[in-house]
């Protein structure tokens, strides 16, 4: 009954209003109501946008508030959209168990040289607490449907999560990730082949997770979840970074389903425009007053980014007119 109701809610969420104005929420997972950690790509084969996300089991009944099994045993969910405004549930990613584990978090899906890649955080089991090893696994796919095992990344720690990989002609590829053994700092690594990685600098001196790196308007940007809003860093070369004062999406919004800080973002660069997709816990909603476990639920929201001088800004209260443009050379086949 709950799943059917959420399916109906998800189907109706994109209806009404201007055709290109995103609803709030942008997307709600109809299975467990715990969508988080999105990664969005354009699929030229289908002409649709696909959003991969952590499918948290937010509806799992638990008697102990400290029991975190609801964020374990998680699959990678998929949402699909033809316009970036109206999203529908597309099942879960077919990720092989042979090289992963019972718990999958925070996919980063990228297309490099015509091939699809996914880096996913793996926790080898379902745990009641946070004391478990975590590592990153690289997967490849010809079609975003069938995934093949690659390698487990060796990054000098048994507790690494949340990959963000970008192509940089100067070095090949850059990886940004969270090293929990280093005070949950955001760290970097570089590679020429997407297989062997050379560890680089520690970028943050404060704890955080969920980094997302992207190039936009002549600069590199890195946005990460500091649990009190999103920390923003800027670079002219991808190596030397400057931290932006304050945090974006730190203040809760006023619209229903957006009444908490923004967390673990994705960024979609679409021509000259860029959109940030973030998840929001539902502890600020009316349902949370009646259901003490409602705060675990989370939805995905979208807002447009702007740059004022060298400062990245976002207005979560403004209507978000979403017009997604496929990457150059990726028209529907």
Q: pLDDT at position 205, please?
A: 87
- First-last CA distance in the chain: 39
Domain 2-14+27-314, architecture per CATH: 5 Propeller (2.115)
Q: Name the percent of the chain in helix, strand, coil, to the closest 5.
A: 10, 45, 45
Q: pLDDT at position 5, please?
A: 46
Please report, for the chain, the start and end positions of each structural domain, with discontinuous segments joined by +: 2-14+27-314
Q: Percent of the chain at pLDDT above 90? A: 91
Q: Percent of the chain at pLDDT above 70? A: 93
Q: How confident is the model at residue 18 (pLDDT cuts 50, 70, 90)?
A: low
Q: Is the pLDDT of residue 12 over 50?
A: no
Average pLDDT over residues 299-317: 97
Euclidean distance between CA atoms 89 and 50, whole angstroms:
10
Per-residue pLDDT tens digits for 140-173: 999 999 999 999 999 999 999 999 999 999 999 9
Rounded to an integer, what is the distance from CA 173 to the centroid of its chain?
19
Euclidean distance between CA atoms 16 and 152, whole angstroms:
45
Per-residue pLDDT tens digits for 176-200: 999 999 999 999 999 999 999 999 9
Euclidean distance between CA atoms 106 and 100, whole angstroms:
13
Mean pLDDT computed over every residue of the chain:
94
Count of alpha carbons within 13 angstroms of residue 103, beta-carbon side: 21
Q: 90: how many CB neighbours lie within 10 A of its CB? A: 15
Q: Name the residue among 253, 234, 244 with its Cα closest to residue 320.
A: 253
Q: 260: how many CB neighbours lie within 10 A of its CB? A: 21
CB 8 within 8 A of CB 247: no
Degrees to nearest 5, angle at CA 257 with 85 and 94: 60
Euclidean distance between CA atoms 305 and 78, whole angstroms:
24
Q: Name the residue among 61, 51, 2 with its Cα closest to residue 27.
A: 51
* 15-24, 88-97, 101-110, 148-157: least confidently modelled range: 15-24
Q: Is the pLDDT of residue 202 over 90?
A: yes
Euclidean distance between CA atoms 304 and 318, whole angstroms:
9
Q: pLDDT at position 31, please?
A: 98
Q: How confident is the model at residue 27 (pLDDT cuts 50, 70, 90)?
A: very high
Phi, then psi, of 28 in degrees rounded to 5: -130, 125
Euclidean distance between CA atoms 198 and 186, whole angstroms:
15
Per-residue pLDDT tens digits for 52-94: 999 999 999 999 999 999 999 999 999 999 999 999 999 999 9
Q: Is the pLDDT of residue 260 over 90?
A: yes
């Amino acid at each position: 009954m709950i799943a059917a109701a959420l399916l109906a809610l998800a189907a109706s969420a994109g209806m009404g209003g201007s055709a290109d104005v995103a609803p709030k929420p942008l997307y709600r997972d109809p299975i467990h109501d715990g969508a988080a950690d999105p990664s969005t790509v354009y699929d030229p084969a289908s002409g649709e946008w696909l959003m991969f996300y952590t499918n948290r089991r937010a509806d799992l009944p638990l008697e102990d508030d400290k029991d975190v099994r609801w964020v374990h045993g998680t699959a990678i969910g998929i949402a699909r959209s033809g316009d970036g405004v109206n999203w529908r549930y597309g099942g879960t990613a077919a990720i092989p168990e042979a090289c992963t584990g019972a718990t999958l978090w925070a996919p980063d899906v990228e297309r490099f040289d015509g091939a699809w890649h996914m880096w996913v955080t793996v926790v080898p089991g379902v745990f009641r607490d946070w004391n478990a090893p975590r590592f990153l696994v690289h997967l490849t796919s010809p079609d975003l449907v069938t995934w093949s095992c690659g390698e487990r990344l060796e990054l000098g720690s048994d507790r690494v999560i949340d990959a963000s990989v970008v192509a940089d002609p100067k070095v090949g590829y850059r990886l940004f990730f969270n090293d929990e053994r280093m005070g949950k700092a955001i760290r970097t690594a570089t590679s020429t082949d997407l297989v062997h990685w050379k560890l680089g600098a520690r970028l943050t001196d404060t704890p955080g997770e969920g980094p997302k790196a992207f190039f936009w308007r002549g600069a590199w940007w890195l946005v990460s979840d500091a649990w009190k809003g999103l920390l923003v860093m800027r670079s002219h070369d991808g190596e030397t970074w400057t931290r932006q004062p304050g945090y974006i999406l730190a203040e809760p919004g006023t619209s229903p389903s957006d009444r908490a800080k923004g967390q673990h973002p994705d960024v979609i660069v679409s021509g000259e425009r860029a959109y940030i997709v973030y998840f929001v816990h539902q502890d600020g909603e009316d349902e949370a007053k009646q259901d003490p476990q409602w705060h675990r639920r989370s939805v995905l929201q979208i807002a447009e980014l702007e740059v004022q001088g060298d400062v990245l800004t976002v207005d979560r209260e403004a209507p978000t007119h979403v017009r997604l443009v496929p990457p150059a050379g990726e028209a529907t086949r």
